[in-house]
Amino acid sequence: MKKVRKAVFPVAGLGTRFLPATKAVPKEMLTVVDRPVIQYVVDEARAAGIEHFIFVTGRNKGVIEDHFDIQFELNHTLAQRGKDDQLARLQRLQPLAGQTSFTRQQEPLGLGHAVWCARDLVGDEPFALLLPDMIMQAETPCMKEMVALYERTGSNIIAVEECDPSQTHKYGIVGRGKDTHNGFEITAMVEKPKPADAPSNLYINGRYILRPEIFGILARQERGAGNEIQLTDAMLKLAGEQAFHGFRFTGRTYDCGSPEGFVEANVAFALARSDLKGISETIAEHLSRAKPAGQRMAG
């Protein structure tokens, strides 16, 4: 059984919900506290033992490539000024030479199409797929636990979480079969079902390990919802030939593709840091007691 060595990050989206901020800055480079969103996702993959990071980009995304490159002038300046801690932190986050690859998704044809664009870089290997809008907090990183489940089963792995049963129409939902190792057999995958039709309340949270046969299905370029090439449709076809297992993630997931999720992530990650927890609590308490600025001026 081949090891999961590579991860795909689809980062070609326009980020229209964050305009005008994303007019010139990719949404993946917006910061949660002091790190870009994409850095959290790459760090999760690295903690799972991933060795090669594949970014499926689009126009105006060159700053992502720059972020994961070495800035000699910056490093030199930090060293000259004695900012050794900051320099060491940057170096810890820096992928090694040859560990990053970038390919273009030239048309916005859906997540399945973005994954297909990485086919030659992935090759004939299982691979991790991490949606960069979703960042996670957990004692053990989600992808690390998924890799462990893959190594026990050799199957395709999908991470899931519980949602309110009344909200199943917002998500891709899986059916739960018998438990196995630290996961369970997936018996169904349904895209945005009505609560009455949902096989469970377990929704797909943006983390996958897929076997390379998925590329052969995506190569058919079959269109689904929104006239796009849907990853879920391809997984459903693959499920007729290969096993899928679910990993139930019990940490916290923040959808940084929405303004409300982005704000929540900033608060949560600030509160989780020892150097920011106290001041974050003080600010939150102060703002909760203060009148909105407009009301103060009107008074």
Check which CATH number belongs to the domain holding 219 and give it.
3.90.550.10
Burial class (CB in 10 A: 0-12, 13-18, 19+), 73: exposed
CA distance 64 to 267: 24
- DSSP calls for 143-177: HHHHHHHHHHH-SEEEEEEE--GGGGGGSEEEEEE
For residue 274, being part of any structural domain is answered with no
Confidence of residue 209 (pLDDT cuts 50, 70, 90): very high
Q: Give the per-residue pLDDT at 71.
A: 87
Cα torsion 71, 75, 80, 82: sign: positive
pLDDT above 90 for 247 = yes
* pLDDT at res. 156: 96
Query: Does any domain span residue 293?
Result: no
Say which range, 90-99, 107-116, 131-140, 249-258, has the weakest mean pLDDT: 90-99
Number of domains in the chain: 1
Ranges of beta strands (E only) in the chain are 6-10, 31-32, 35-36, 52-57, 100-104, 127-130, 134-137, 156-162, 172-180, 183-191, 202-210, 244-248, 252-255
Averaged pLDDT for residues 162-191: 90
Cα 228 to Cα 214: distance, rounded to the nearest angstrom: 16
The tokens describing 207, both together, are 């983390």
Closest C-alpha among 26, 7, 30 to residue 256: 30
Structure tokens at 129: 């797929």
Give the pLDDT confidence score for residue 295 in this predicted structure: 60
pLDDT at 27 over 90: yes
Which of 63-67, 92-96, 144-148, 248-252 shows the lowest per-residue confidence on average (mean pLDDT)?
Answer: 92-96
Quote the domain boundaries for residue 105: 6-257
Q: CA nearest 180: which of 150, 201, 209, 205?
A: 150
Residue 27 lies in a domain: yes
Nearest to 147 by CA among 250, 3, 1: 3
Tell me what the pLDDT averaged over the chain comes to: 91
- In this prediction, residue 198 carries a pLDDT of 92
What SS3 state is found at 8? strand
Report the C-alpha gap between 28 and 13 in whole angstroms: 9
* pTM for the predicted model, two decimal places: 0.90
Examine residue 285 and state whether it is found in any structural domain, yes or no. no
In a domain, 32, yes or no: yes
Residue 143: both structure tokens together: 């992808």
pLDDT of residue 70: 87
The C-alpha atoms of residue 190 and residue 209 are separated, in whole angstroms, by: 18
**74 inside domain:** yes
pLDDT score for 60: 83
Report which DSSP code applies to 249.
Answer: -
In a domain, 266, yes or no: no
pLDDT confidence of 294, banded at 50, 70, 90?
low
Decide if 277 is inside a domain. Answer: no
* pLDDT-above-90 percentage for the chain: 68
Task: Tell me: pLDDT of 299 over 50.
Answer: no
C-alpha pair distances (Å), 109 with each of 19, 120, 162, 194:
21, 18, 29, 25
